[in-house]
Amino acid sequence: VSRSLTYSQSCGLIIVKQQFAWLENIFESEVQTTLIENRLEDLKKFLSDYRRWPFASGGDDEASLARWIYNHTKRDLLPGYDPDEAKRIEQLQEEFSHYPHNNSEYEFQNTCTDFRIFLERNFRLPEDDSENMREIELAQWFHKVLSKKEPYDDNRHLYFNQLLEYLSEYGFSISI
């Protein structure tokens, strides 16, 4: 059995391929749009579930999502860059800018939450001379942040100001 095509058969295949190229482009575009929509939905769900941005150091799915965000917002010089897609991600970044973007912000926010919980349960500020180790840690953390000379240049500044406002509402007067 011969596997070679005659000239007219190969010309026919080229014509058929050209006629259906537009269909292939539409299909690829729809698949790409579906993938983008799925990733955006994954990102929205992650933000809703965890109330923070995905970290590259997280689990496989989280790290993949973090890389996807990076690849679609920071790499405008690379092939495949889609400015519309980047704009949609940037809109989410603006909407959820107050969420922690890295582990430092996340841990800081958690400590602020722990501080609030301590205050609500004990109706006082944590003390250094307590027998409770977590209370000592909270007291030392609070004094360290209060004495910090330069303000944080990320969301930690926001979280600490929110904590200070909360303390003020609780009746504490904290001078910085």
pLDDT tens for the chain, residues 1 to 176: 455 656 555 555 555 555 555 555 554 555 556 688 899 999 999 999 999 999 999 999 999 999 988 887 776 656 666 777 778 888 999 999 999 999 999 999 999 999 999 999 999 999 999 999 999 999 999 999 999 988 899 999 999 999 999 999 988 888 76
Determine the distance from the C-alpha atom of residue 106 to the mean position of all C-alpha atoms in its chain, rounded to a whole number.
11
Nearest of 24, 29, 27 to residue 84 by alpha carbon: 29
Alpha carbon distance 48, 124 (integer Å):
32
Q: pTM score, two decimals? A: 0.76
Position 150 scores a pLDDT of 87
* Model pLDDT, residue 72: 77
CA distances from 49 to 99, 100, 157 (A): 12, 13, 23
Nearest to 93 by CA among 73, 75, 63: 73
Alpha carbons within 13 angstroms on the beta-carbon side of residue 109 total 16
Place of tokens 């890389």: 67
Half-sphere exposure of 86 (CA within 13 A, CB side): 13
The span from the CA of 130 to the CA of 134, in Å, is: 9
Res 50: pLDDT? 97
For 137, the enclosing helix (H) or strand (E) is helix 133-146
Distance CA 66, CA 70 (A): 6
Is the CA virtual torsion 145, 146, 152, 157 positive or negative? Answer: positive
Non-local CB neighbours of 93 within 8 Å, separated by 6+ positions: 73
Cα 89 from Cα 65, distance rounded (Å): 12
Under DSSP, the state recorded for 114 is: H
The encoded tokens of residue 176 equal 């910085």
Determine the pLDDT at residue 149.
80
